[in-house]
Structure 1
Amino acid sequence: MDEHEPLHTTQKRLKAIWDAVPDMPGAKLTGPDWIRSPEKRGLDLLVATTLLPVYLPTVAVGASLMYFGDGVAPLFWQRRIGRNGIPFKLLKVRTMRDVRGQDASRGSADPRALPVGKVLRKVTIDQFTELVNVLGGDMAMANPRPLLPSDRGLMRDLLTPSEYREWDWASTIGRPGMYSTFGNESIRLEPQTEEYLRRRFECDVEDAHCASLERDMKILGDTAKIGWSFVGHGS
């Protein structure tokens, strides 16, 4: 398989959905009305099932590389905070030697990540398994990301009480997303710095207030472009 094929196919499939966006039910809903709507859930299921034939073999390759590297199970479940603040189990591709860590991630530059794991993180293949959570109803395709309790603690420590209440509402009003505006921007920021956490606050609140079908598709399109750029630079 051409190394570019998964991302190229993803872009084509997303474009086909995007072309139909103006005619989709709920296309005019915004903010919490869109986040809580059955139309958004329908779009999530449509996108997830459309991407499943692309993501599944890609995950199989990535997980196999991790397993052959150290002989440890490549998939694991991790407790994250979801809709209405209720914890759920997130399915992930392992990128570190030890999957027990519950402290904040430092992205693809995390020194704890194995070499193959850093590559999987950079092109977000470690998140592809989250389609299981989308199909199961715990997650959406696009919304603020589900965080570890320790990540939420960092946000609580940084923000004022009123800011934290607004962010807490924004990040738990709906199903957490596989992808988000902040997730796409965060690759340009130093993880867990004040700038990084402040930008998460801004993006997540904006995603909640300005949510719409069009914004969801933009987030997904931007994610595909970022993944494509990483693959292209590595060629």
Structure 2
Amino acid sequence: MPRTPRPVPRAIKRMSDILIAGGVLMLSAPILLLAAAAIAVRLGRPILFRQTRPGLGGTPFRLLKLRTMRDDCEPDGRLQADEHRLGALGRFLRRTSIDELPQLWNVLRGDMSLVGPRPLLMEYLELYTPEQRRRQDVRPGITGWSQVRGRNLLEWSERFELDVWYVDHWSLGLDAKILVMTAWIVLTGRGVAQAGQATAAKFTGQR
């Protein structure tokens, strides 16, 4: 059954987000600088990828990631498919999740949490069922329950079910478990993309 979040654990979650995100951001600064230099040399500018995503309650915010794709175009000017624009550097950054490190700034700003449903595209909001939209009842996360249960290898229906389950069963202990599981997944690179695709398949509103 859904539970009403208690204010004290939520406050502890927010304080933990700030302390952990701030600490990791400082420790990972050399990695970010090296990655930024590699992107500047191999891909050019901009270094950061910025995109509007839905946050808590569907409120838009600007998500930050390290850029991982080239701007290669077809003869007619259209961008090539993602799998053709994602080179060795981009694959490495994604496999190691280094491309996600700038989202620690989103956490510090309060746009995101360390743990929560992943922020998807704004255009998906109108495609959600009322049950699926409940994933917006909490701050989106850098990692989440669906991320550690299969990540992009899951079907959309499975991902949404896991996201809503997290909303209903959230606890500080569950967040700690997800963070530990995430560390293992980052080390193994499991579930970064679906077979034959550079990114997850587009959600088209299938119920």
Structure 2 length-normalised TM: 0.77
Tell me, yes or no, if structure 1 residue 115 matches structure 2 residue 115: no
* 1:58 matched residue in structure 2: 31
* 1:126 matched residue in structure 2: 99
Call closer, same or farther: CA 1:112–1:71 in 2, change over 3 Å: closer
Aligned residue type for 2:141: G
Q: 1:63-85 deviations in whole A, cap 9, x for unaligned?
A: 22111103222113211011111
Instruction: Tell me how far 1:211 sits from its aligned partner.
Output: 0.6
Within 5 A, what are the aligned runs for 1:126-145? 126-145=99-118
Q: Where does the alignment leave 5 or more consecutive residues of structure 2 unmatched? A: 73-80, 191-207
Q: Distance in 2 between matches of 1:34 and 1:93?
A: 35
- Secondary structure of the 2:52 match is strand
* 2:13 matched residue in structure 1: 40
Equivalent residues of 1:32, 1:173 under 8 A apart = no
Instruction: Tell me how far 1:151 sits from its aligned partner.
Output: 4.5
* 1:220 matched residue in structure 2: 179
Call closer, same or farther: CA 1:60–1:184 in 2, change over 3 Å: farther
Which structure has more relative contact order (CA 8 Å, sep 6+)? It is 1
Q: Distance in 1 between matches of 2:85 and 2:166?
A: 30
Tell me, yes or no, if structure 1 residue 167 matches structure 2 residue 139: no
Q: 1:38-77 deviations in whole A, cap 9, x for unaligned?
A: 1211111121122122322222222221111032221132
- Structure with the larger helix share: 1
Q: Distance in 2 between matches of 1:31 and 1:110?
A: 41
Call closer, same or farther: CA 1:219–1:197 in 2, change over 3 Å: same
Instruction: Tell me how far 1:187 sits from its aligned partner.
Output: 4.3
Q: Distance in 2 between matches of 1:52 and 1:34?
A: 28
Equivalent residues of 1:34, 1:212 under 8 A apart = no
* 1:148 matched residue in structure 2: 121
Runs of 4 or more above 6 Å deviation: none
Aligned residue type for 1:216: D
* 1:205 matched residue in structure 2: 164
Give the alignment's Cα RMSD to 1 decimal.
2.6
Structure 1 length-normalised TM: 0.68
Q: Distance in 1 between matches of 2:152 and 2:159?
A: 12
- Secondary structure of the 2:50 match is strand
